[in-house]
Amino acid sequence: ASLGLRVLLSIGGNRDDPEHSQKYMELLEAVDRRLAFVESAETLVTSYGFDGIDLAWQFPLNKPKKIHGTWSGIWSKVKHTFVSPSDIDPKHAEHKEQFTALVREVKNTFAHKGLLVSMSVLPNVNSTIFHDIPKLVPNLDFINLWAFDYYTPARNPKEADYTAPLHELIDRKYDENGNALVQHWIHKGCPNNKLIYGIPTYARTWRMSKDSGLSGVPPISDIKGAGEAGPHTKEEGILSYQEVCTQLTNPNHLQSALRKVGDPTGK
């Protein structure tokens, strides 16, 4: 590779046929399917000259929760602490063990050819439930932490909030922030030099109503779904970096439409 550049083929992601994400669990559950996947992945990676593979595996997602007031928020946090993993995935223990086996099988095959193996932790996937970190880490060259899209117009159509908070915010789930994700992996024994922290270079947008208020400070209620599609992305609820820059430099927006919102954590 040129100048130390490494290019990996990423399998999965949170936009790969989300309506049929059960296919990822079905593959894990059968040894013959896993081995066929490993063989196919090796053929594809070597045929096209990739330097390795990234497993961005789809697991069942945490359920989105509403923002609560102070006391109800405390109770919600307590309840979240004791949420049964079976509520997210009745077969979570088996899937956790099977994913560990898949990573080991991929590593055993790829290592002989000097190929890299990484994995990506997708947004709103509970690592406590699905990732056996002490057993995964020895078979991974690095781990991509997708610390964004905790809130999106599709996931939270009635309330706008920070999509990629760095630290815990008041009245939110304690683990819906980048710091909590990083600390969890380190606490479970992952070396920090194997962690790659993913940040968004785009904006999630919601359509506000007259009842949403004028402060612009999240969380914002009385939302009417996703924001207007951008001229280039042409998809409601998301703007590319270029489209955001255009909004910020538009003279029509500088006087009244845009508001600066400070960091609520002060960090």
Under DSSP, the state recorded for 220 is B
Report whether 154 contacts 227 (CB < 8 A).
no
* Higher pLDDT among residues 211 and 81, named by residue: 211
- Kindly state whether residue 72 falls inside one of the protein's structural domains: yes
How many residues can be counted in the chain? Answer: 267
Q: What is the pLDDT of residue 71?
A: 55
Summarize pLDDT for 50-108 with one digit per residue, the tens.
999 999 999 999 988 665 555 555 555 555 555 788 889 999 999 999 999 999 999 99
- Kindly state whether residue 157 falls inside one of the protein's structural domains: no
How much is the average pLDDT of 2-6? Answer: 83
Residue type, 243: E
CATH of residue 232 = 3.10.50
Q: Which domain holds residue 252?
A: 203-262
Q: What is the pLDDT of residue 215?
A: 83
What is the number of structural domains in the chain? 2
Using a cut of 0.85, tell me whether the model's pTM lies above it: yes
Q: Give the CA radius of gyration of the chain.
A: 20
Burial bucket for residue 257 (CB in 10 Å: 0-12, 13-18, 19+): exposed
Same domain, residue pair 254 and 211 = yes
Given a cut of 80, whether residue 43 has pLDDT beyond it is yes
Report whether 239 contacts 230 (CB < 8 A).
yes
Same domain, residue pair 223 and 256 = yes
Same domain, residue pair 23 and 112 = yes
Summarize pLDDT for 63-72 with one digit per residue, the tens.
886 655 555 5
Q: Give the pLDDT band of residue 263 (cuts 50, 70, 90).
A: confident
Q: Give the strand pairing for 116-121 and 238-240.
A: unpaired
From residue 172, alpha-carbon distances to 35, 42, 258 in Å are 41, 42, 25
Q: Give the pLDDT band of residue 216 (cuts 50, 70, 90).
A: confident
Q: What is the pLDDT of residue 64?
A: 85
* Higher pLDDT among residues 250 and 183, named by residue: 183
